């Protein structure tokens, strides 16, 4: 299977990463630099006038679309091998993220903040789609996605591998700035509306909250991810 990716940053990163690109489509007279790179890589590009392009492709494509090979996911065992030389790795576990924009934004923040991998369940989580890749703005080319069947079993395996498991919960007693950062960490982010599931929350070593003083009682999942990831990065590098 293949995935259609779109947007200048996503396409540029795909080209530079060496990802297998099957073919591309571009609006006539646009994205000449990307087209020249694609030509040098012997990628077949089809030029369309703007009206025909917009009839065929929807969304904010920025005038260029590439059909690429499906994004590879790793097993937990493979993923742990790939990060075995990372000191105190940080991985994210997503429990039921459904919005592709949230998923893409989380990937972008995770890659920028030094996350080693993102763990997603095979069911109850949005897949890697063109929208996800576009919002991630190329970051997905540099971050491993680990796909697992059961999150609770995965938590137990991570614990045996030396990871501390930290969940997120609006009612948690601990604040996010109490996370012990100088250890291997798995940080769990939950569904946009429901949060993390009960069993996952119970299987975490502890749960944390982001204190808020406004009238809203929750944050967008990708905003929460950014706050947590970059606070961990700040405390690890100060």
Residue-wise pLDDT for 141-189, tens only, equals 999 999 999 999 999 999 999 999 999 998 899 999 999 999 999 999 9
pLDDT at residue 217, rounded to an integer = 67
Q: Where are the domains of the chain?
A: 2-69, 76-237
**Residue 85 to residues 82, 88, 93, 116, 184: CA-CA distances in angstroms?**
8, 9, 20, 11, 12
> What gap in Å lies between CA 104 and CA 222, rounded to an integer?
8
In CATH terms, are 2-69 and 76-237 the same topology?
A: no
pLDDT at position 6 over 70: yes
DSSP 96: S
pLDDT at residue 194, rounded to an integer = 84
> What gap in Å lies between CA 86 and CA 107, rounded to an integer?
19
Q: Is 209 helix (H, G, I), strand (E, B) or coil?
A: strand
Average pLDDT over the chain, rounded to an integer? 94
What's domain 76-237's architecture? Answer: 3-Layer(aba) Sandwich (3.40)
Please provide the CATH number assigned to the domain covering 2-69.
3.30.1330.30
For residue 91, give the nearest of 186, 164, 166, 156 by alpha carbon. Answer: 186
Average pLDDT on 59-84 reads 95
For the stretch 196-214, pLDDT in tens is: 999 999 999 999 999 988 7
Q: Check the CA dihedral 180-157-73-6 and report its sign.
A: negative
pLDDT at residue 216, rounded to an integer = 72
Average pLDDT on 204-225 reads 87
pLDDT at residue 220, rounded to an integer = 86
Assign 74 a pLDDT band (cuts: 50, 70, 90). very high
For the stretch 89-132, pLDDT in tens is: 999 999 989 999 999 999 999 999 999 999 999 987 788 988 99
Helix residue ranges per DSSP H, the chain: 8-17, 32-40, 50-56, 76-82, 100-112, 130-136, 151-160, 198-203, 221-237
């Amino acid at each position: 299977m293949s995935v259609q990716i779109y947007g200048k940053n996503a396409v540029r990163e795909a080209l530079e990463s060496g990802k297998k690109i099957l073919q591309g489509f571009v609006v006539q007279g646009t994205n000449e630099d990307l087209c020249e790179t694609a030509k040098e890589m012997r990628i077949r590009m089809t030029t369309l006038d703007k009206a025909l392009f917009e009839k065929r492709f929807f969304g904010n494509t920025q005038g260029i679309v590439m059909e690429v090979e499906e994004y590879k996911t790793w097993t937990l065992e493979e993923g742990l091998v790939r990060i075995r030389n990372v000191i105190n790795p940080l991985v994210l576990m997503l429990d039921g993220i459904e919005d592709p924009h949230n998923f893409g934004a989380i990937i972008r923040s995770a890659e920028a903040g030094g996350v080693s991998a993102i763990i997603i369940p095979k069911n109850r989580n949005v897949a890697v789609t063109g929208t996800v890749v576009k919002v991630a703005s190329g970051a997905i080319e540099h971050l491993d996605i680990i796909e697992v069947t059961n999150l609770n079993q995965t938590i137990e395996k991570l614990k045996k591998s030396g990871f501390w498991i930290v969940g997120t919960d609006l009612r948690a007693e601990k604040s996010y700035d109490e996370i012990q950062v100088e250890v291997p960490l798995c940080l769990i982010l939950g569904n946009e509306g429901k949060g993390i599931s009960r069993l996952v929350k119970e299987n975490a070593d502890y749960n944390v909250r982001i204190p808020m003083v406004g009238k809203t009682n929750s944050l967008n999942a990708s905003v929460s991810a950014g706050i947590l990831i970059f606070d961990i990065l700040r405390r690890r590098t100060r």
